Structure 1
Amino acid sequence: MKLSVLVLITAVAVGLSIALVNFHFQGSWYYSLISFGISFGTSFIVFYYLLEKYIYSKIKLIYKMIHNLKLGKDLKEALGEYVSSDPINDVEQEVKEWAGAKKREIDLLKKQEQFRKEFLSNVSHEFKTPLFAIQGYIETLQDCIVDDPDMARQFLKKAENNVERLSYLINDLDEISKLETGEIAINFQKFDFVPLAKEVIDSLEDRAAAKRIVFSLKEKYAVPTPVSADREKIRQVMINLLVNSIKYGRPDGTTAVKIFELHDQFLIEVTDDGIGIEEKHLPRLFERFYRADSHRSRHEGGTGLGLAIVKHILEAHQQTISVRSTPQIGTTFAFTLQKAG
């Protein structure tokens, strides 16, 4: 409500009150009208002055500060900006928006803090496991290196395997960090996706066969599928997704690679008929070290960073990846690639 309207209503109320009191004691409409006019005029001037100087001007100042500081302007600039003609309602709206924004910001910070704690805990666990194993093997080696050379060689091999695991962890973390900061350049080039998919499938067939899993790429995809992307990075995406399907696929199962043509993109799906993933885990599946089934995941091996790397590679291509899954039925990872002109 505007200041003049507010003051007018207040002045009319005061004037009517005084006129009615005057009429009650004197019984004259003439003097009641005179008292109404005088009291109305006086009240209007006094209230307008008081509200303008001591209340309304302060509200204007608050509104200017809230509105302009929200836009990132400094205090001096904020105080010199134009304010609307109805700042009371505007202040209410601005404060509600500001409070809502702050609440969302606090909720986001809480989630980030929780993610940071979990990430540090996971990093610590992932590094401690091979480090403690290496330490144990070395201590045992000191006792048996002379008396039992065969046993010493076995422990050396196990220590070497754990060193390799540490190396993989460090390399994967370094790659994610560089992808996030843009240090790893994406070398866009035009290539046919189908031959690349076949190359990756051929390279992993022996590993899949050990678990009696069959890869499927329909013959209808023999037609050219030209995309614009970094070929080696997309190779890495396909390797990670197919290896993931082998780890969590069921024996005697299948993994199918499907390609769908969209308007200006190709949609690639990697679908398995494995153990599936519960819905509650899906939103966090691409987080670093997040495991839907920690015990099974560590038993299957890997660094726990594969899907995080996939997500970062595709985001660096300005493309998206999604997942849908049903427990005991299977999982589908779907990502897009830009068509080559």
Structure 2
Amino acid sequence: MLTTSRGISLVLAVAISALTVAFLLLMDDATPSLLLVAGAISFSVSYILMQVTLEFLIFKEISNIYSVLEKIQKKDYSSIPDKSDRLSISPLKKINKTINLYAQSKNKEIETLQKNAAFRREFIADISHELKTPIFAAQGYIHTLLDGAVEDKSVRLKFLKRAAKSLNALDKLVQDLLTLNQMESGVIKFHFESFDLKEVIHEVIEELEHKAAKRDMIIRFFYDKDKSYHTIADKDKIFRVCQNLISNAIKYNNDGGEVEVFLKMLKNNIMVEVKDNGKGISPDDLKRIFERFYRVEKSRSREKGGTGLGLAIVKHILEGHKSKISVSSTLGKGSVFSFELPLDKDKKKVA
């Protein structure tokens, strides 16, 4: 009985009532009626106050604390309330809130670990498949040659070229993986310098024009010829960013389509936009295109080449420049990739 709020309230109320009556007995003019009324009032008031105080300010909070602790013990973090901001004057409120915050942090930590575990499983499956494809292709060509086809010169040359192509794809995949890993671990350092972004984009377009011409595509470059687009960045890495974005715009565009590159001068930055009029990307795929090995059209993408790491590398390069890659896309109309770099104000002048 003494372990409940009612039992404790009853005992304390009786004690307070007895003390009140005992105090009144010391008075000469105390009558039995006065003693009875005073005892009853002191008992009632004391009981109600004690009951409310113990039940709502102490026992209820202790019950909540035990409930949360039981869930933590059972590792059931999902049913723990996200917030503990109810109005209360209980001295145990702070303890309850602290335990709730701890449980919420553990729940988030577990969710993160589960996501990382799922990502690792998916990554291992992806990299195994990506490595297997060129290895098995090169292996097949070489074993065919060893089985006797090497004697036929025309077959020998054709198979050796195909095996070399597969090994080159394997080498590119390994190099991209190493590059991405070094960027994430901070091994690769950025060498910032001032250069004209317009010239870098011209170099990229000249390099990729033959690739576009094979599919009857046109690359258009729009910028203000009277302006200088100097920025401070790592020139080689920004070249790679532009190369990847324009190459993808060609790769995933329709035959006879157009790729448009825009240079826009903003107040303190320079914006680069790469636009195509291809099939576009669905909203679900947009959320994942910067993940390693993620491809919107997996079968077609492998036919077109590439390692599936290009956009992941672009993302890390721009993060190293305190910038980010943005993308918008409409199915059936195409996609627009854009990023910004800081304007070199010392060279902000008319060309």
- Residue equivalent to 2:334: 330
The runs of at least 4 consecutive aligned structure 1 residues that moved more than 4 Å come to 9-13, 15-19, 34-45
CA distance in 1, matches of 2:213, 2:330: 24
- Residue equivalent to 1:70: none
3-state SS, counterpart of residue 224 of structure 2: helix
Q: In structure 2, which of residues 221, 224, 230 is the aligned counterpart of residue 220 of structure 1? A: 224
Displacement of 1:336 in angstroms is 1.4
Residue 242 (structure 1) aligned with residue 246 (structure 2): yes
- Residue equivalent to 2:275: 271
Query: Counterpart amino acid of 1:240?
Result: N
3-state SS, counterpart of residue 125 of structure 1: helix
CA distance in 2, matches of 1:141, 1:168: 24
Residue 30 (structure 1) aligned with residue 29 (structure 2): no
Residue 258 (structure 1) aligned with residue 245 (structure 2): no
3-state SS, counterpart of residue 258 of structure 1: strand
TM-score normalised over the length of structure 2: 0.76
Q: In structure 2, which of residues 151, 154, 157 is the aligned counterpart of residue 147 of structure 1? A: 151
* Contact 2:223–2:262 (CA under 8 A) maintained in structure 1: no
3-state SS, counterpart of residue 138 of structure 1: helix
- Residue equivalent to 1:310: 314
- The structure-2 alpha-carbon separation of the partners of 1:28 and 1:172, relative to structure 1 and needing over 3 Å to count, comes to same
Query: Counterpart amino acid of 1:152?
Result: R
3-state SS, counterpart of residue 269 of structure 1: strand
Displacement of 1:150 in angstroms is 2.0
CA distance in 1, matches of 2:254, 2:119: 31
Report 1:165-244 matches (<5 A): 165-244=169-248
- Residue equivalent to 2:101: 97
3-state SS, counterpart of residue 92 of structure 2: helix
Question: How many corresponding residue pairs?
Answer: 303
- Residue equivalent to 2:292: 288
Displacement of 1:225 in angstroms is 1.2
Q: In structure 2, which of residues 89, 99, 117 is the aligned counterpart of residue 113 of structure 1? A: 117
- The structure-2 alpha-carbon separation of the partners of 1:221 and 1:10, relative to structure 1 and needing over 3 Å to count, comes to farther
Displacement of 1:95 in angstroms is 3.1
Query: Counterpart amino acid of 2:280?
Result: G
The farther-off stretch of 143-152 and 209-218 is 143-152
Structure having the larger proportion of residues in helix: 1
Query: Counterpart amino acid of 1:172?
Result: D
Query: Counterpart amino acid of 1:313?
Result: I
- The structure-2 alpha-carbon separation of the partners of 1:222 and 1:195, relative to structure 1 and needing over 3 Å to count, comes to farther
* Contact 1:277–1:326 (CA under 8 A) maintained in structure 2: yes
TM-score normalised over the length of structure 1: 0.78
Residue 157 (structure 1) aligned with residue 156 (structure 2): no
Displacement of 1:296 in angstroms is 0.9
Gaps of 5+ in 1: 1-5, 63-84
CA distance in 1, matches of 2:257, 2:15: 89
3-state SS, counterpart of residue 318 of structure 1: coil
Displacement of 1:279 in angstroms is 0.6
3-state SS, counterpart of residue 147 of structure 2: helix
The farther-off stretch of 254-263 and 285-294 is 254-263
- Residue equivalent to 1:76: none
3-state SS, counterpart of residue 178 of structure 2: helix
* Contact 1:221–1:259 (CA under 8 A) maintained in structure 2: no
CA distance in 1, matches of 2:163, 2:209: 29
Query: Counterpart amino acid of 1:197?
Result: I
Residue 321 (structure 1) aligned with residue 325 (structure 2): yes
CA distance in 2, matches of 1:219, 1:89: 62
- Residue equivalent to 2:13: 14
CA distance in 1, matches of 2:168, 2:191: 28
- The structure-2 alpha-carbon separation of the partners of 1:104 and 1:42, relative to structure 1 and needing over 3 Å to count, comes to closer
CA distance in 1, matches of 2:284, 2:270: 28
Residue 127 (structure 1) aligned with residue 125 (structure 2): no
* Contact 2:220–2:259 (CA under 8 A) maintained in structure 1: yes
Displacement of 1:217 in angstroms is 1.3
CA distance in 2, matches of 1:229, 1:11: 77
- The structure-2 alpha-carbon separation of the partners of 1:36 and 1:105, relative to structure 1 and needing over 3 Å to count, comes to same
Displacement of 1:12 in angstroms is 11
Gaps of 5+ in 2: 22-30, 67-88, 346-351
Displacement of 1:260 in angstroms is 2.7
Q: Deviations over 1:129-173 (max 9, x none)?
A: 111112111111112245323212211111111111110011000
